[in-house]
Structure 1
Amino acid sequence: MPKETVKRITTIGGQALIEGVMMRGPKKTSMAVRLPDGSIDLSVLSTPSLREKYAFWKLPLLRGIATFIDSLRVGFSALGASAEKSGLEDDEEPSKFDRWMQEKFGDKIMNVIMAAGTVLGVVLAILLFFFLPTLVFNGIELLAGSGIEGWRSVVEGVMRILIFVAYILFCAHMPYIRRVFEYHGAEHKTIFCYESQEELTVENVRRHSRFHPRCGTSFMVIMLLLGIIIGFFIPFTNPLLRTVVKLLCIPIVVGIGYELIRICGRYDNWLTRIIAAPGLWMQRITTQEPDDSMIEVAIAAMKDVIPENGEDIVGGCGCAK
């Protein structure tokens, strides 16, 4: 089965949207995009995983960190590839800034833009999810007294979750992001269909659920919840110092979160259903019902990563094998 559904790709090029999905199988990662002319284009993203290159990355906890790093690497490559396919040209006259960027960076302009966007995104995430909650709690503590110190990790964790949910809800109201979520739903339905060993047709895929226990959304929610637990063991109250320690703890949270998602995908009992419940609830926002054309793209990506010998047909979901 595909090991991981990494990212949905929506690139704006002029008036056209390049939309598609990416499936990561045991042998390769395939990106299928719907081109402006209506055809489906398939690309293989050749990025060997860390677990394939180094055996120690297959160990429990470490494999989660390796998968997270691989997801970022492959996702970055996919965004670059989708930008190239979009053409990124329109009929408008380029601005002075556009011309300066082109003269300064030439063919590397897209890499520069994506790198700058990545850096800004990381900085914003650190400020919103790590620094701001600590700063706000310190302000509350000044007003309420030191007696609430024992609630610091819980309050900070709840604030992070609220920020995350608010951000997702805000994005969900953007028309092109909603289409991203619809492609996300197409991915999950297609993976469920394949895991049920049914023929990959639009009719069969459409019947399946769009909620998957090993989705990246569930992984993010579990990381936020684990952050609350780990926060109890961080003694610092200074916003900057506490933020640094939390950042250093991210590999631990990623490793544990991956193992929990992996367990939820392999076993179905009351405990795994409790663990998976918050993530499945969030998927009501991050996945939407797709149309048939989106399902066709997801099927194309899926078929391209299925090994010929069918070695990956086992139970479970495709987001973390």
Structure 2
Amino acid sequence: MNTQQEKKFDVGGQAVMEGVMMRSPNATAVTVRRPDGTMVTKLTPFVPLKEKHPWMGKPFIRGIINMGTMLYYGMNTLEDSTKMLGMLDEEPTKFEKWLARKLGKGIDKIVMAFAIILAVILSVVLFIAIPAGVESLLRGAGMSTIGYTLIGGLVKIMILVGYMIFCACVPEVRRTFQYHGAEHKSVHCHESSLSLTPGNAQTFSRLHPRCGTAFLLIVFAISILLFLVLNVLVPISNFFVRFLFHLAMLPIVAGVSYEVLMGLAHSNSKIARILRWPGLQMQRLTTREPDESMLECAIVSVNVVLNGIPDHAKRTPEGWAVFTDYRQSEPGYIPPVEEAAEEETDADNADADPAPEA
């Protein structure tokens, strides 16, 4: 687990329902903890877009591409986690049955697409339309360009913080925030010289400089500075024009913010530490201290995304790996005598001829 080759690239991820997704340059691994205590892992290899299209890996462009791919994989991962937990096997409601009859077998993809569209619309309204409206009102009231731009940026940050505080009040989301902390701790441990164990991972901070929460704060800071300059050079009084202008500039802001985030994350200079500090503090809202079982899920995801699913791992009918102990996900794991005997018995039973019918 602690090889130099594994440390040549960054590993990151996100918390999901009762689990953790980890992403390497060529695969994602989702691990969830089922009610029976077992951990189920799905490994999904992929070819990076920058290998298919090298221009997508260029500075600034890669930030825009990364934002889009993370949204795509993030939504797919959330859907995978609900399936792996068996939540989709529950008896559907009358409304769900009616939708299935009307929309056919593709209802899951339709519902997911609707959820994505709704989330995008909500984000645009909260973080672009409302701040742009506030800026237009303040500009109409005669406030200076610097004044209304800074207040518009402050409104964005206040909405973001308020949203995070609201989410933290929901018990299910609070538990997901614990898995978020487990993700960060396991990544810290992987990047250190220590063995990847729950005990070692627990000693690290639940805050990480490459976190998406820090990225959001950098996006807002960059957007404030960028729009401050643009508002001075190109004053816009009409709300709808201002709204469309902010929307059109979002990819540029994302591209610049990604480069800033990567630069700060991989630098240990005093200036970098100072600039990283606000983003790290923001993560106190989106992470909580995890328990050992959550760290085990995160560690399994790290092991599998780096080394693949071990040959000795048991499988579900869907092809997902099943682990009862996080150490079973390690590439050099040797099953104890009792466990090996149990697996041999299971194999013998599977190969045995069926009993004759009465």
Indicate whether the TM-score tops 0.5.
Answer: yes
The C-alpha deviation readout for 1:276-296, integer Å capped at 9, x for no partner, is: 111101011111100000000
Instruction: Work out the CA distance in 2 between the residues paired with 1:154 and 1:249.
Output: 17
Aligned residues: 297
Tell me, yes or no, if structure 1 residue 77 matches structure 2 residue 73: no
Contact map agreement 2:198 2:295 (CA 8 A) in 1? yes
Corresponding residue to 1:217 among 213, 220, 223 = 213
Contact map agreement 2:179 2:295 (CA 8 A) in 1? yes
Residue 204 of structure 1 is matched in structure 2 by 200
Q: Give the alignment of 1:11-160 within 5 angstroms.
A: 19-89=18-88, 94-95=93-94, 97-142=95-140, 145-160=141-156
Q: Which moved more, 1:35-44 or 1:171-180?
A: 35-44
Kindly tell me: are residues 84 and 271 of structure 1, through their superposed partners in 2, closer, same or farther at Cα, counting changes over 3 Å? same
Find the residue that maps to 2:21 and give its secondary structure.
strand
1:77 Cα shift?
Answer: 1.8
The C-alpha deviation readout for 1:42-62, integer Å capped at 9, x for no partner, is: 111234321222111121111
Larger Rg belongs to: 2
Give the TM-score of the pair, scaled to structure 1.
0.87
Instruction: Work out the CA distance in 2 between the residues paired with 1:93 and 1:202.
Output: 37
Corresponding residue to 1:3 among 10, 24, 43 = 10
Find the residue that maps to 2:248 and give its secondary structure.
helix
Contact map agreement 2:19 2:33 (CA 8 A) in 1? yes
Instruction: Work out the CA distance in 2 between the residues paired with 1:39 and 1:46.
Output: 23
The C-alpha deviation readout for 1:71-112, integer Å capped at 9, x for no partner, is: 1121122122223223335766722x2221111223322211
Contact map agreement 2:139 2:237 (CA 8 A) in 1? no
Instruction: Work out the CA distance in 1 between the residues paired with 2:51 and 2:68.
Output: 13
Contact map agreement 2:135 2:149 (CA 8 A) in 1? no
Find the residue that maps to 2:194 and give its secondary structure.
coil
Structure 1: 5+ residue stretches without partners: 11-18, 309-321
Instruction: Work out the CA distance in 2 between the residues paired with 1:9 and 1:73.
Output: 14
Contact map agreement 1:80 1:110 (CA 8 A) in 2? no
Contact map agreement 2:186 2:298 (CA 8 A) in 1? yes
Instruction: Work out the CA distance in 2 between the residues paired with 1:175 and 1:56.
Output: 43
Q: Give the alignment of 1:216-255 within 5 angstroms.
A: 216-232=212-228, 233-234=230-231, 235-255=235-255
Instruction: Work out the CA distance in 1 between the residues paired with 2:177 and 2:19.
Output: 11
RMSD: 1.9
Contact map agreement 1:49 1:70 (CA 8 A) in 2? no
Instruction: Work out the CA distance in 2 between the residues paired with 1:92 and 1:303.
Output: 34
Letter of the aligned partner of 1:293 in structure 2? S
Residue 336 of structure 2 is matched in structure 1 by none
Residue 290 of structure 1 is matched in structure 2 by 290
Letter of the aligned partner of 1:179 in structure 2? R
The C-alpha deviation readout for 1:151-173, integer Å capped at 9, x for no partner, is: 22111000000000000000011
Q: Give the alignment of 1:184-195 within 5 angstroms.
A: 184-195=180-191
Kindly tell me: are residues 67 and 4 of structure 1, through their superposed partners in 2, closer, same or farther at Cα, counting changes over 3 Å? farther
Kindly tell me: are residues 223 and 110 of structure 1, through their superposed partners in 2, closer, same or farther at Cα, counting changes over 3 Å? same
1:29 Cα shift?
Answer: 1.3
Kindly tell me: are residues 89 and 65 of structure 1, through their superposed partners in 2, closer, same or farther at Cα, counting changes over 3 Å? closer
Instruction: Work out the CA distance in 1 between the residues paired with 2:40 and 2:88.
Output: 19
Residue 182 of structure 1 is matched in structure 2 by 178
Find the residue that maps to 1:60 and give its secondary structure.
coil
Tell me, yes or no, if structure 1 residue 262 matches structure 2 residue 262: yes
Contact map agreement 1:160 1:224 (CA 8 A) in 2? yes
Find the residue that maps to 1:237 and give its secondary structure.
coil
Give the TM-score of the pair, scaled to structure 2.
0.78
Identity of aligned residues (%): 36
Instruction: Work out the CA distance in 1 between the residues paired with 2:146 and 2:195.
Output: 54
Instruction: Work out the CA distance in 2 between the residues paired with 1:257 and 1:4.
Output: 19
Residue 315 of structure 1 is matched in structure 2 by none
The C-alpha deviation readout for 1:12-71, integer Å capped at 9, x for no partner, is: xxxxxxx11111113311111112221111111234321222111121111212221221
Kindly tell me: are residues 92 and 41 of structure 1, through their superposed partners in 2, closer, same or farther at Cα, counting changes over 3 Å? closer
The C-alpha deviation readout for 1:195-247, integer Å capped at 9, x for no partner, is: 11211111111111111111111001000111101212043232221121111
Instruction: Work out the CA distance in 2 between the residues paired with 1:56 and 1:90.
Output: 43
Kindly tell me: are residues 104 and 47 of structure 1, through their superposed partners in 2, closer, same or farther at Cα, counting changes over 3 Å? farther
Kindly tell me: are residues 91 and 57 of structure 1, through their superposed partners in 2, closer, same or farther at Cα, counting changes over 3 Å? closer
